[in-house]
Amino acid sequence: MAQDLSIDVQHLRKVYGTVVAVDDLTFSVPRGAVLGLLGGNGAGKTTTIAMLLGLLEPTGGDIHVLGIDMSKRRYAALPRMNFSSPYVDLPHRLTVRENLLFYGRLYGVKQLARRIDEIATHMQVAEFLDRQAGKLSAGQKTRVALAKALINKPDVLLLDEPTASLDPDTADWVRTYLKDYQRETGATILLASHNMSEVERLCDDVILLQTGRVFERGSPRELIERFGREDMEEVFLDMARGRGRGLDTLKKPEAAR
């Protein structure tokens, strides 16, 4: 695998019984890039992220993260990765601080107390560090989940709907924070999102997934141009509805290139 690739996925496949959730998915993400994974409900985004993290075993295909074969040595890569997902709840009875201590120790974070204070300030959760996680509002939980995702300053960050349930103002500064983090650290980010303005703002490259297969890929600007549309919202609607001006000139859903 090329040295400059943080994520390299080849012919990835996941079958649940009769459901093919991910079908021959091939993509790579260069170091320091932000890739958007877009698709309607059930397109296979969460399944892909779970396989990248080693939480789900692929039915077929290969995943390398930071040059490491995840099927053989994922424990060498995991300390340099992290994720946030609205589907993974933090332990409710633990306070926010206890949660961050737990995950910080899991990731072997040095000077953990200092790092917790730092990231809690950055994510604006410092004022409820000693509150139980289960007693936070949805938006506060999302910020805590992001603090957890950044606790080990990951080189590879997998974000599933990172601004879900945030108000527009908070979502906006979280996006700015993520962009700054990526620029300052050179981290690679894979972002699954239904928020198209977020995708336009953060992503260098986008994969449009439809029923587990790559439908289209390109930078947001390229896709908007190719579909003959104004923005990614319209591109997404074209894909979802299988119609639209842009589709006249579109290729058939392509296998991974």
Which residue in 111, 103, 175, 107 sits closest to 145, CA to CA?
Answer: 103
Q: Say if CB 89 and CB 59 are below 8 A apart.
A: no
Residue 19 is a binding residue for ligand ATP (CB under 6 A):
yes
Options 13-21, 76-84, 114-122, 150-158: segment touching ligand ATP (CB under 6 A): 13-21
Residue 16 is a binding residue for ligand ATP (CB under 6 A):
yes
Q: Is 67 exposed, middle or buried (0-12, 13-18, 19+ CB in 10 A)?
A: middle
**Footprint of ligand ATP on 35-54 (CB under 6 A):** 39, 41-47
Nearer to ligand ATP, 3 or 18 (CB): 18
Nearer to ligand ATP, 124 or 211 (CB): 211
Nearer to ligand ATP, 120 or 202 (CB): 202
| DSSP three-state, residue 190 | strand
Options 34-42, 70-78, 88-96, 148-156: segment touching ligand ATP (CB under 6 A): 34-42
Residue 188 is a binding residue for ligand ATP (CB under 6 A):
no
Nearer to ligand ATP, 83 or 128 (CB): 83
Tell me the CB-side half-sphere exposure of residue 199, using CA atoms within 13 A.
30
Least distance CB 215 / ligand ATP (angstroms)? 12
| DSSP three-state, residue 220 | helix
Residue type, 106: L
Task: Point out which residues bind ligand ATP (CB under 6 A).
Answer: 16, 19, 21, 39, 41-47
